[in-house]
Structure 1
Amino acid sequence: MKITQIITHHLTHTLEKPFESASMRFTSRDHLLLEIHCDNGLIGWGECLGNRIVNDAFIKAMTPLLIGKNALDIEPIWLMLYNTFRDQGQRGATINAISGIDIALWDLAGKFHQCPTYQLMGGAFRTRIPAYATGGFRIIGEDRIESLLNEVSGYKVQGFEAVKIKIGFGVALDVASIKAVRQCLGNDIELMIDANHGYDHIDAARVANQVADCNILWFEEPVVPEALSSYNKLRTTQPIPLAGGETWHSRWGINEALKQNTVDILQPDVCGVGGLSEARKILTLCDIYGVRCVPHVWGTSIALAASLHFHAIIPPSPPSPGTGSPRFEFDQTHNPFRSSIVTTPFELDNGYLTVPNGHGLGIEILRDEIAKFAPQQ
């Protein structure tokens, strides 16, 4: 099964209501998809986390190395690409591009063997995944707390049993926002906070200590990802479990972070950590270092599908009957690509998402929808 062609697809959609995290302003939703064609007619789909233009440049640079390769040689292809482009970066766009390619190869492998990708990766511990709502960004031009409460009230009505909100907009405002959300949700719904590395460790500790009575499940990306020592300090200066890792790409980047005792919960993203191949290796690191794996998810239906297959193979830890599944991050911000580009969109069912059971990733792409969101030339 030889690779004959790689095609990239840029998707963009201008937002009517721009929003922001502590580190980024979103005026549009932008994603990069890719498809790998083989000489037997099979096509595999992948997606890259991060800047679509930069990722596209790396994929185009990698493409000549892939043409003619056996698409089932997933591990040899991964290492060949990493070794070739190592000097251009061991994280960031290099690994984002490899991630998208790797996901497409696993999609192809499942289609070739006529089984779900998770089956090829060792089998599923679960095929129904409890989801949590990611939202709570700051809507530009609206009152922060009022708009936040309107939003999270909707998640409660939809049946979400866990909600994650964005912080990093100033200590006083964040503390007031968190307390208001906890009061709105009540005590039965889990609450997580994500600073998108908007603080140093001093202010992050101030926030955490002031909301310690709000029963926060985790405090995500409190500081910049490079500040491993700050993560370590925060584990001793405040009581909330720390989470992070969506930009600690590859086994090497994550191993160094875990060696320095940075987090209680690791959040690799299959579209950025190195694809499904690398994500599976990182499960071993989680086991060795004794941290929970609760993956980061952000993207289109392709990212959702690949992430659901990864969730399926995460082993229960500890391996006892009372150990539950990690919750699936289900982004609720406006994103037409989340549902429109596939024939069967992912929908919440009593708080759960179902892992696709078709061949490969188990999704069917609507090319007309992809074309609709192509950037205007």
Structure 2
Amino acid sequence: MKITDVITHQLLVNVDEPFTSSRGWYYKTKGALVVEIVTDEGIVGWGDCYGPAAVNRAIVETVLRAAVIGRDPFDVEVIWEELYNKVKDYGMTGMNISAISGIDIALWDIIGKACGKPVHKLIGGAFRTELQAYATGLYFRDMNRLVEDAVEEAQGYVEQGFGAIKMKIGLGSIHKDLERVAAVRDAIGPRVQLMVDANHCFTVPQAINIGRELEKLDVHWFEEPISPEDVDGYVEVSRRLDMAIAGGENEFTKFSFRHILEKRAMDIVQPDVCAAGGITECKKIATLAQAHSVQCVPHAWGTAIGLAATMHFLASLPNCPPCLVPVHPMLEYEQTFNPFRDELSTTRLTHTRGIVTVPTGPGLGIEIDREVLRKYRVA
């Protein structure tokens, strides 16, 4: 089998209701880059690249595509290493790796379809066939109803059956953040896990100060409290707080995560399959995490392709630590408007009372609706 073409599909949709996190970015449009890899045997694989679609498209089309055409998709490790060594002179992290991620996911999709097996069977098997999903939402929308909106949204997720919710913090006032988190905790009760995500907006002292108060509200983990560049700062925050500190969605490849894990800077690492290097590299990151007794709970944000790839990756992760009643890694199920997640696949990846079933079809186990692809495709 040989690869005959690599096709990029840049997608774009308008967002009617803008929202923001602590970074101050209002999302008025949502974009994605889908990678389609075609073979001479008629098998097609699909991948998803995290980050600005136009940049990923340029990297795939001008740098990576020529190096992939003519290759055997089963040489997935060989292709990954060659692509990485091709781009690392221009940057060993960031968009170069996101672009490789999309290609890598598509290759695994092809391999699975050729073998008639789901991806998780090819990367070690499934430790679990069902995933507990946590709802990611509670962004900042109406600044006059920050608390009320958060409470209403959180209650809605509980009614849907979610047993865990992640909310945004970082309003520029620790008192406002704590008021909002306390209101949500009171509304959802003590049995629903609650996580907070600061999108790295705090200094080390601020993170420690608010973290001590968040612990009183039984927050399960504190995600990205400080800037991702400050690994030593993460060490300090992790040591000063009892709750778990999570991060890593802005990190790429095993080399970046090695530095974090060696310092034990985080209690939970969150590589994104569509950003950190694809399924191939994320399996290695997860192995490094296991070797350091650190949980791996991947970040997920993207299309149905990225969600499916994340589900296969999660299914293949061993329990950390192994025990009688294990703590299973959860699936991030973001709740913002996203037709690329909800419409692109004819196989629905929806939850039932907060539980999502891992796809069992060949490859990623999903079929792409080309009409939806054309509907949102940028000319």
Instruction: Give TM-score scaled by structure 1 length.
Output: 0.98
Pair 1:283 & 2:286 matched: yes
Return the letter of the residue paired with 1:291. V
The alpha carbon displacement at 1:127 in A equals: 1.0
In structure 2, distance between residues paired with 1:141 and 1:197: 20
Pair 1:55 & 2:56 matched: yes
In structure 2, distance between residues paired with 1:219 and 1:132: 14
Return the letter of the residue paired with 2:10. H
The residue correspondences of 1:208-357 to structure 2 (distance < 5 A) are 208-357=211-360
DSSP-derived class of the 1:138 partner: coil
Larger deviation, residues 184-193 vs 333-342? 333-342
In structure 2, distance between residues paired with 1:240 and 1:27: 34
Cα-to-partner distance string for 1:261-309 (whole Å, 9 max, x where unaligned): 2100111110011000001111211111111111111011101100000
In structure 2, distance between residues paired with 1:45 and 1:2: 16
DSSP-derived class of the 2:19 partner: strand
In structure 2, distance between residues paired with 1:207 and 1:8: 43
The alpha carbon displacement at 1:206 in A equals: 1.6
DSSP-derived class of the 1:32 partner: strand
Q: Are 1:270 and 1:276, in contact at CA under 8 Å, matched by a contact in 2?
A: yes
Q: Are 1:17 and 1:140, in contact at CA under 8 Å, matched by a contact in 2?
A: no
In structure 1, distance between residues paired with 2:152 and 2:319: 35
Equivalent residue, structure 2, for 1:7:
7
Structure 1, gaps ≥5 residues long: none
In structure 2, distance between residues paired with 1:159 and 1:3: 43
Pair 1:148 & 2:150 matched: yes
Larger deviation, residues 37-46 vs 239-248? 239-248
Equivalent residue, structure 2, for 1:178:
181
DSSP-derived class of the 2:58 partner: helix
The alpha carbon displacement at 1:25 in A equals: 2.2
Return the letter of the residue paired with 1:330. Y
How has the CA–CA distance of structure 1 residues 12 and 243 changed in structure 2, closer, same or farther, with 3 Å as cutoff? same
Q: Are 1:169 and 1:198, in contact at CA under 8 Å, matched by a contact in 2?
A: no
Pair 1:368 & 2:371 matched: yes
The residue correspondences of 1:35-184 to structure 2 (distance < 5 A) are 35-60=36-61, 61-140=63-142, 142-170=144-172, 171-184=174-187
Computed over aligned residues only, the root mean square deviation of the Cα atoms, in angstroms, reads 1.1
The alpha carbon displacement at 1:239 in A equals: 2.6
Q: Are 2:11 and 2:377, in contact at CA under 8 Å, matched by a contact in 1?
A: yes
The alpha carbon displacement at 1:350 in A equals: 2.6
Pair 1:359 & 2:358 matched: no
DSSP-derived class of the 2:10 partner: strand
In structure 2, distance between residues paired with 1:130 and 1:241: 19
Number of equivalenced pairs: 376
Return the letter of the residue paired with 2:205. I
Identity of aligned residues (%): 41
In structure 2, distance between residues paired with 1:262 and 1:236: 9
The alpha carbon displacement at 1:174 in A equals: 0.8
Equivalent residue, structure 2, for 1:28:
29
Q: Are 2:293 and 2:321, in contact at CA under 8 Å, matched by a contact in 1?
A: no
How has the CA–CA distance of structure 1 residues 140 and 64 changed in structure 2, closer, same or farther, with 3 Å as cutoff? farther
The alpha carbon displacement at 1:320 in A equals: 2.5
In structure 2, distance between residues paired with 1:127 and 1:142: 42
Q: Are 1:338 and 1:345, in contact at CA under 8 Å, matched by a contact in 2?
A: no
Instruction: Give TM-score scaled by structure 2 length.
Output: 0.97
Return the letter of the residue paired with 2:182. K
Return the letter of the residue paired with 1:225. P
The alpha carbon displacement at 1:244 in A equals: 0.4
In structure 1, distance between residues paired with 2:143 and 2:296: 36
Q: Are 2:118 and 2:360, in contact at CA under 8 Å, matched by a contact in 1?
A: yes
Return the letter of the residue paired with 2:16. E
Q: Are 2:249 and 2:271, in contact at CA under 8 Å, matched by a contact in 1?
A: yes
Q: Are 2:314 and 2:331, in contact at CA under 8 Å, matched by a contact in 1?
A: yes
Q: Are 2:97 and 2:252, in contact at CA under 8 Å, matched by a contact in 1?
A: yes
In structure 2, distance between residues paired with 1:49 and 1:262: 24
Where do 4+ consecutive residues of structure 1 move more than 3 Å? none
